[in-house]
Structure 1
């Protein structure tokens, strides 16, 4: 079994991280992700827990050993992601598994976002764990295939952090733009009200 695990601290609050994560694709650092479709999303009225199921379509370069064995497979692969976001415990967990090439190998990934114990209001801890297991005809070449898959996860993990950071900055910029527009509209309303009061127009009997 091939194993990849990484832990990372984002200098952003948990709420911002999870909001940006739902908007993560597309971004310029994840060109391998071709599309993301939300199949289902529900909210538990009792707990507020948000459960989501998404289908990811990705372009992945397969390990060369697979092609050398004569497997004629598409470069596009599908993955199923199931996630839960608990606003009470502030834990977001996403589990992803490959749907394509299941007869050759399985790739199971778990990602978790939760507040950093050292600075829970401003920082978020991220953990990612992936397990790759070969099956069938590839079992004889398991080490080669699993090592190649682990290396691919490492490369995509770095791009994933860059992509999420870029989305976070976009979310912050959008929030600041909305805040500025609201503040500008409020200022105009107050100025109009003050002008009207100055002329004695409003409230005349």
Structure 2
């Protein structure tokens, strides 16, 4: 029997890593995983217990095809998510050809004690082959392949985390630009989402309305003037020089060419 243990760090919170764990397939680094299916799920207290089956492909050497003919192997994954201790523990093993070769894996995802914004993954694996005369070679080959797949599994999980966070940010950004609740927003929030040209048109429209109100009311401040007074300084900074008027001049442009 051979034993292997390795630790990996993720620069993401435990919640983000666990959220990505449930949707880590498919990804570009795990093309050998064909499908997955959840066969059991239960909540006991603050623990989520899940059993899933994965169908994975494996490359078999020529000399090993006489013992194993099928290249698709079902794998059972049992997991426990503990919210109290913030740990995700998984147990994975092959359920076919177990009499010839068995590979058991245990993974623990937990919060980094030195940095609560990071997550530590401890991965352990046990390899056992019952073929006399081939046990050592098969175990060594299985260990090398396991290291390769473990490295790709980490890359795939990081890929899913990045994709998940990017989608979340885009969703928040799209919601912030939605004008459905425009009336409930402060005008300053509405105004800062306008483009430069939209701001210019907005300021021109405000100036025309304000000017008309002053002419009609005899320079008595109207509600629109009070509400939009704060945009005068912005108008001076955004409009071209030929549109800006001296403080002492009473003439204003009536149109823009």
- Same fold, TM-score > 0.5, yes or no: yes
Shift of 1:72: 4.5
User: Quick one: distance in 1 between partners of 2:68 and 2:103?
Assistant: 19
Map of 2:55 onto structure 1:
57
Match of 2:91 among 81, 88, 95: 95
How far apart are residue 109 of structure 1 and its match? 0.4
Map 1:1-205; keep pairs closer than 5 Å. Answer: 1-44=1-44, 47-67=45-65, 70-120=66-116, 122-135=117-130, 138-185=131-178, 188-191=180-183
* Contact 1:105 1:133 (C-alpha < 8 Å) held by counterparts: yes
Task: Find the residue that maps to 1:96 and give its secondary structure.
Answer: strand
Gaps of 5+ in 1: 200-205
Larger radius of gyration: 2
Alpha-carbon separation, structure 2, partners of 1:29 and 1:175: 22
Structure 1 stretches of 4+ moved >3 Å:
190-195
**Post-superposition offset of 1:139:** 2.7
2:218 match: none
Q: Relative to structure 1, is the Cα distance of residues 139 and 181 closer, same or farther in structure 2, using a 3 angstrom cutoff?
A: same
Q: TM-score, normalised by structure 1?
A: 0.86
- Comparing 78-87 with 34-43, greater Cα deviation is found at 34-43
The answer for unaligned runs of 5 or more in structure 2 is: 188-222, 225-257
Normalising to structure 2: TM-score of the pair?
Answer: 0.69
CA distance in 1 between counterparts of 2:186 and 2:157 reads 45
How many residues are matched? 189
Give, in whole Å, the separation in 1 of the partners of 2:68 and 2:140.
21
CA 1:61–1:175 in 2, change beyond 3 Å: closer, same or farther? Answer: same
1:62-107, Cα deviation, whole Å (9 max, x unpaired)? 244423xx22511110100000001110000000010111121111
* TM superposition shift of 1:2: 1.8
CA distance in 2, matches of 1:3, 1:116: 24
* Structure 1 residue 177: Cα displacement: 1.9
Q: Which has the higher strand share?
A: 1
